[in-house]
């Protein structure tokens, strides 16, 4: 049934896709699809390389008291504010 797709059928399918989505949005859709594929590929590669490595069970205690700064935008220091990480005593 679907094995006999010739040139006229493929052209008709492409014309329907262009009519449905619009010619202006197709490059953006293809670009975002490519970005998603690259991200998926890099994450899969990272998972394969991390298979043999194990993370430590508990982080060191002195790391929990470190104060971090959340910035609104990279390089933006006017809206930065310090944030304290929740410790084990505050999570319970």
Beta bridge partners of 83: 68
Annotate the chain with DSSP letters as a single string.
Answer: --S---HHHHHHHHHHHHHHH-TTHHHHHHHHHHHHHHHHHHHHHHHHHTSS----SS--GGGTT-EEEE-SSTT--SS-EEEEPP-HHHH-
Q: Kindly indicate the confidence band of residue 87, based on its pLDDT and cuts at 50, 70 and 90.
A: low
Measured in Å, how far apart are the chain's first and last C-alpha atoms? 61
Strand partners for 81: 70
The mean pLDDT of the chain is: 75
Q: What is the mean pLDDT of residues 43-72?
A: 67
pLDDT at 61 over 60: no
* Res 36: pLDDT: 95
Tell me: the pLDDT tens digits for 17-52? 888 888 888 888 889 999 999 999 999 999 888 876
Report whether 67 contacts 84 (CB < 8 A): yes
- pTM of the complete model beyond 0.85: no
């Amino acid at each position: 049934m679907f094995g006999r797709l010739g040139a006229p059928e493929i052209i008709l399918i492409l014309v329907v896709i262009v009519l449905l989505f619009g010619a202006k949005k197709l490059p953006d859709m293809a670009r975002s699809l490519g970005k998603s594929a690259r991200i998926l590929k890099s994450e899969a590669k990272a998972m394969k390389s991390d298979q043999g490595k194990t993370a430590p069970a508990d982080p060191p205690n002195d790391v929990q008291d470190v104060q971090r700064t959340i910035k609104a935008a990279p390089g933006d220091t006017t809206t930065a504010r310090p944030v304290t990480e929740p410790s084990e005593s505050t999570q319970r």
